[in-house]
Amino acid sequence: MTATISGTALGPHLRRRRDAGRKLLAPYLTGGVRADWTDYLLAYAEAGADTIEVGLPFSEPVVDGPTVQEASHLALRRGANVRDILADLRRVRVGIPLTVMTYYHLVQREGAEVFCANLAGAGVRGLIVPDLPVDELGTLERAATAAGVDLVLVAAPSSTPARLREIGTRSRGFVYAVSVMAPTGVRDELADTAGVLAGQLKQATDLPVLLGFGIATPAHAVAGAHVADGVAVGSALMRAVLDGESPAQVGARVAAMRDALDRAYP
């Protein structure tokens, strides 16, 4: 299986920006949630995203709270599927590396090699599988490497120090730090667990550390980036998409976060 690898690799891209002092911003969008869904990707990139997480919707989203569940079910009702979402991605030029976020079921059903090759063929350079712990990576780790896709591992507040070291060592691209013991979803404040986990991870790895889950406002983004190298933002943006905001409107939300980060960390 040979894959055409197009565009910039995720890891070096994020590291370069991080090392230059920039705080990283990774907004999320559920693939296929609307007919014009790729316009949101362009708006996110325009607004200063460093990578975009594209969700491949799965019918059993156990890691997700109500908003992303709603977005996933809506996309599936619209007929979204992995093949068509990747075909859409192949047609857009976003200009920054894309990261796919999905559940392991959809990865294993085609086989890790075919799945990763298909991602690479669509220009995707990163993969996050939140229900696949480091112990169960199996053939996916090698398949991702072979396809030029960074397999981003997830750390949690409950991870033991030994597991954090293992995650830090085997993750590629960046480490996704789950800020709170909860599903995805908007929260009023950044959880206390976020700072502790980000601090531990920064000790355990030199990879960029991005905090996700519960980051909803520019203030959250600034607080999160104080302890981590950047933040991932999902439910807050998806709520706006589901409420009918246009690509420009949701892009403005991303721009506000970019702006707040750049001001706080000049």
Chain residues in the site for other proteins (CB under 8 A) = 58-63, 65-66, 69, 73, 76, 81-83, 103-106, 108-110, 130-136, 154-160, 163, 167, 178, 181-183
User: Is residue 259 among the annotated active site residues?
Assistant: no
Q: How far is the CB of 116 from other proteins (least distance, A)?
A: 16
Give the nearer residue to other proteins in terms of CB position, either 43 or 179. Answer: 179
Catalytic residue among 50, 53, 70, 150: 53
User: Is residue 53 among the annotated active site residues?
Assistant: yes
Give the nearer residue to other proteins in terms of CB position, either 97 or 173. Answer: 173
Give the nearer residue to other proteins in terms of CB position, either 68 or 233. Answer: 68
Q: How far is the CB of 30 from other proteins (least distance, A)?
A: 14
CA-closest candidate to residue 24, choices 169, 148, 126: 126
Give yes or no for a contact between 174 and 209, defined as CB atoms under 8 angstroms apart.
Answer: yes
d(CA 99, CA 171): 14
Phi first, then psi, for residue 240 (nearest 5°) are: -65, -40
d(CA 50, CA 60): 28
Q: How far is the CB of 140 from other proteins (least distance, A)?
A: 12
DSSP per-residue string spanning 178-218: E-SSS-S---SS--HHHHHHHHHHHHH-SS-EEEESS--SH
d(CA 266, CA 259): 10
What are the helix (H) ranges across 20-65? 37-46
Give the CA dihedral 175, 180, 182, 185, nearest 10 degrees: -80
Q: How far is the CB of 105 from other proteins (least distance, A)?
A: 4
Give the nearer residue to other proteins in terms of CB position, either 62 or 87. Answer: 62
Q: How far is the CB of 59 from other proteins (least distance, A)?
A: 4
Give the nearer residue to other proteins in terms of CB position, either 157 or 251. Answer: 157
Please tell me the number of Cα atoms within 13 Å of 97 on its side-chain side: 24
Catalytic residue among 50, 60, 64, 141: 64
Q: Among all residues, which ones are annotated catalytic? A: 53, 64
